[in-house]
Amino acid sequence: MTACLSNLRQIGILHNTYVNDYRGVIVPCDYGDAATPPDANGYKTLESWATILVTCKYLKYPPAGPSAPPTDGSVLRCPAGGEEFLAPSNVSNGLPDSRKSALGAIGQQYTSRVFEPGRIVYAWYGINGSSGVNPVTPCVRWPPDGKTTGPLRRINEIRKPADTVFLFDGIGINYLSVNANRINARHNRHSTTNILFFDGHAEPFHTKDLPGGDGNAGVGTGAQQTFSLSNLSRYPYPLWRLDQ
C-alpha cells in the first residue's frame, strides 16, 4: 500500500508539471471524438491520460508489447494489482461486479495512436473523468463535439483540489453508477483504496467509507446512483464531482 501511495504521489508531481506547461490545463481523460475511426478492436479513443503523460515525456515508461505488461515496473503499476490486463475495447464488457472484484485490480492496456503510434502503456489506476456528456466530472475527453464533453478543464476550475479525486486504485474511468465498481478495494485484504488528489497528495481510504461501499456499488437509479449529487451530499470527503 505504501509503494502504491508513492506511485500516486509521483504521478501527481509529474501531472503538476504538465499543468504548469499547459497554462493550467489538466490532462484530459482521453482524446478522440465520434468521428475518430475505430482501431482493430473497435476502440475510438486516440489517446488516454496515461499515453498522453508517457508520450509527452512526463512519465518514463519501459517498452511494452501487446501480450504482456513490462516486467521492470512503472509508477503506473500498482504493486498490489493483478498480472492480468484488459484491452481497451474490453473495458465496458468486463466491468467488475463489486469493489472487491479481481477485475478491478488488473491493468488496462492503452495504445497511442497520435503522439507515438503503436506505443503501448498499461495502467493500474483509474481517472475521475468521463468520455461522455457529463459536465460535472473533473477530467473530460478532448476534442469536444456534440456527443462528448469539453472544453478541457483548468486547475483553477477545481475549487478544492486538495479534496477532489484525480486518480484512484482501479481501472478506466468513473462516473455515476455506470462504472462505480471500477474503484477497487485493493489493499489490506481488500479493504482499502488509495486515492490521488488534484493537489498532488495521496491517501488511503477504507473502501467501505467511500460512496457505494465495498460491495456492489453499481446499483440504484436517479438520485440513488452512487455518484449522484444527492447521494454524494452524505460524503463530504473526498469530492468526486465539481458541483458537490
What does the pLDDT read at residue 43? 60
Residue 34: pLDDT above 80?
Answer: no
Residue that has been written with the C-alpha cell 498480472 in this structure: 83
Parallel, antiparallel, or unpaired: how do β-strands 120-123 and 125-127 relate? unpaired
With b meaning 16 or more CB within 10 Å and e meaning fewer, what string describes 142-164? beeeeebbeebbebeebeebebb
What does the pLDDT read at residue 113? 87
Q: Which residues contact 64 (CB under 8 A, 6 or more apart)?
A: 70, 120, 121, 122
What does the pLDDT read at residue 239? 95
Residue 92: pLDDT above 80?
Answer: no
Percent of the chain at pLDDT above 90?
A: 54
pTM of the complete model: 0.91
What does the pLDDT read at residue 70? 85
What does the pLDDT read at residue 21? 96
Evaluate whether 217 touches 225 at the Cβ level (below 8 Å).
no
DSSP 184: -
Residue 104 cell numbers, joined: 478491478
What does the pLDDT read at residue 39? 62
DSSP 223: G
Greater confidence, 173 or 163? 163
**For range 123-131, the mean pLDDT:** 90
